[in-house]
Structure 1
Amino acid sequence: MSRTNAVKHDPLTTQIRRQFSDRSNQRFLHSLPTFKVVNELPEPLRTLLEKLDAQESSTRGR
């Protein structure tokens, strides 16, 4: 069976497509808040990541 035929007959794929095309579901999804990407990390997280990098670097040097 070719890949396109397998996708057409996959019940999960079919169900997901139905869910996305359902008008009530579309209204619900459009009502959700939009998310934005924040380019900066909070300072506590940045500090922890720097400590982790330093520890990994010292471990590799052994």
Structure 2
Amino acid sequence: MSRSNGMKPNEISKEIKRQIGQQANARYLRALPLFRVDKELPKSFHGLLRDIDRAERSQKERRSKTM
């Protein structure tokens, strides 16, 4: 739904709300798998984040030495 069809922003939002409320869409959304958020990061992520931090620090240090 683009603006090239002549719809105004408030008309677009009304159309989106209408489509979201349709039974077919509600059935589709209920059929999707449920996603849960883990409260803790896996151990492998901690290592990756540590590597990213280390790489960023070394890059900042290199930049500060060249200035």
**TM-score, scaled to structure 1:** 0.62
Structure 2 gaps, min length 5: 1-7, 63-67
Aligned equivalents of 2:52 and 2:27: distance in 1?
Answer: 44
What percent identity do the matched residue pairs reach? Answer: 35
**RCO comparison, higher one (Cα < 8 Å, 6+):** 2
Please list every run of 5 or more consecutive structure 1 residues that lacks an aligned counterpart in the other structure: 1-5
Runs of 4+ in structure 1 deviating by more than 6 angstroms, as ranges, are none
Aligned residues: 55
Indicate the RMSD between aligned Cα atoms, in angstroms.
2.0
Superposed displacement of residue 32, structure 1: 1.9
The corresponding residue for 1:39 is 39
